[in-house]
Each structure stands twice: as structure tokens, then as C-alpha cells.
Amino acid sequence: MHKEKHGKGRMAILGPLGTHSEAAGRYLAAKLPESVELVIYPDIFAAIQAVEEGETESAIVPVENSLEGSINVTLDTLAHTDALCVLRELVWPVHNHLMAKCGIGEVRRILSHPQPISQCREYLRAHFPKAELIKTPSTARAAELVAAEPASSGWAAICTERAGKLNGLHTLATEIQDNMANATRFFQLVRRGSTEALPEATKTLVICQMDGTRAGALYEVLREFAERGINMTRIESRPARTTLGAYIFFFDLELGCDEATLAESLSAVREKCIWLRSLGKFPLIVA
């Protein structure tokens, strides 16, 4: 009970200050009618665990990047807990900037999280073919490391503008991502049963495990949705972590049908699965 009370009004985010997760959290917190305190955690698993244990009321964590694909730690954690559900989904546009203490012609080493390095691959190849690329736990951590070195080191960070400014760096180049449509999906997670589904919900997330040794198992599940006109916007699979060849599937479904039809389809799918769990109905917010 004390943990529940302590966590009220607190939202867990991936730190340190200046990450894309913090930016998404600040954006969402500003849109909510209630006051929200952002609480920084060192990694995605810790942020999700904070919600499970009642340290925070919710967490906002990345699920998928439009260029680099799924965030596996988020999916794997959701697959192995029945304590959480999704309250909101936020699509956050990603803006990557090159920031440093030195001049652009003096850059010899570039630091960032693996995803931004990959998202900016063509830019880096064209402008800094000889620079050493160093992977860090987050873009904000890259900015901190660059800030700790003298300008003469030639270190630079791919990070958010806020991370660079928080660490006293100046901008060498803006919007260096190879694809300007780059965006990341975030889920705001809450404890199951702690709040009602929002009335503006348009999607639902279903997780299940089926018998992968039986031919046509996935087809039979997909057919249950298709025959009832339920639109699937995303399908993803992850290892079940039990035996080799066992997989867990994630289905994003649109709530375009009536409640009875959706319930009927989930009941039919459940009969064809080892287990099935719904992670709630939620609205989509595009920043």
C-alpha cells in the first residue's frame, strides 16, 4: 500500500536527462490534465519494473523504431509479465543532431546509442568516413562523455538538442538522420486494474504463444481475425525462452469492430494457443 501511494503521479523514463525517452515523457506529461513527475531509471527494464513494484504510477518506454525495428527488451518484458497493460501509445518523431565542443572539421570520434549511429549511417559515411564510432548506453550518456573531454579531443555526440545543451555542447549539424520520417513508438504502461481504459481507445495489443510444431498454427490464428474483419496493423514474434523454436507473437489490432466481434475472435484465437493475454485497449497519440 505504501508503494502504491508513493508512486502516485510519477512516470518512469529512461535516463539520463536529454534522452528521446525523456523528450517523449515531457511531451506526454504536458498533455495530461494531472500533474506528473518524471523519474529517471538507468535502463528500460528498470523503468518497467518500477511500475510493477509500485514505485511509479506509469512508465513510458520505447517499443519500436521506424528504421531499426522493435525494442526487444520492452517486448520480452511485456511477454513475461501479467501485471501490466498499455494506457497510451505515443509516436515520437526522432531528431538527431551532431554536437560537440570542437569544430566540425576537428571531429575524430563520434559517440551515440547504437540506434542513432545506424539511423545516421549514410550521413556519417559521407561526412566523417574516418571518424571512430563509439556506442554508448544512450544519446544523453554520449553527450555527457563528450562534455567531459576537452575540445582538442575531437569528440562529438549524436544526441538530442536538449542533451547537448545540458552538457554545454554546441551544434555542428542538425537533423542528420538518413530518413526524415524516422519515428519511435512508445507505450505508457500502468499496472493492470489500476485505471480504466481510456474512452478514446482505438487499438488493442494481444500477446500469445502457439504450438510452433503444428503446421498452419499461425495461419489459423490470423484467419480468425481476417474472417471477422479485424484489421491487424502489426505482427511481431520473439523467442519464448523455453525451448528452441518456441515463439511468442504480438498482434496490434484496430478497434474498428464491435465489442462482441472482438471478444468472439479472441476467444477463438485463445482456443488455438497455449496461452493468450490482452494488454488493454488504448489511444494513439502522434506528436
pLDDT of residue 1: 35
| Stretch 242-263: mean pLDDT | 86
Angle (CA) 241-275-255 rounded to 5° is: 110
Closest CA to 209 of 221, 225, 193: 221
Any idea which of 59-68, 141-150, 182-191, 240-249 has the lowest mean pLDDT?
240-249
| Stretch 109-115: mean pLDDT | 94
d(Cα 137, Cα 18) in Å, to the nearest integer?
13
Instruction: Return the percentage of the chain with pLDDT > 90, whole number.
Output: 71
Residue 4: pLDDT over 50: no
pLDDT of residue 6: 62
pLDDT of residue 256: 80
Closest CA to 75 of 252, 242, 223, 222: 252
Residue 83: pLDDT over 70: yes
pLDDT of residue 214: 77
Tens-digit pLDDT profile for residues 11-21: 999 888 898 89
Query: Coil, strand or helix: which one is 213?
Result: coil
| Stretch 181-202: mean pLDDT | 91
pLDDT band, very low/low/confident/very high, at 217 (cuts 50, 70, 90): confident
Tens-digit pLDDT profile for residues 202-216: 999 999 998 877 788
What domains can you pick out in the chain, each with its CATH number? 2-94+182-191 (3.40.190.10), 97-173 (3.40.190.10), 203-281 (3.30.70.260)
Instruction: Return the percentage of the chain with pLDDT > 70, whole number.
Output: 98
Residue 43: pLDDT over 60: yes
d(Cα 163, Cα 11) in Å, to the nearest integer?
20
d(Cα 117, Cα 110) in Å, to the nearest integer?
9
pLDDT of residue 258: 82
pTM over 0.75: yes
Q: In Å, how far are 66, 109, 116, 132, 133 from 124, measured between CA atoms?
A: 19, 11, 11, 10, 9
Residue 280: pLDDT over 70: yes
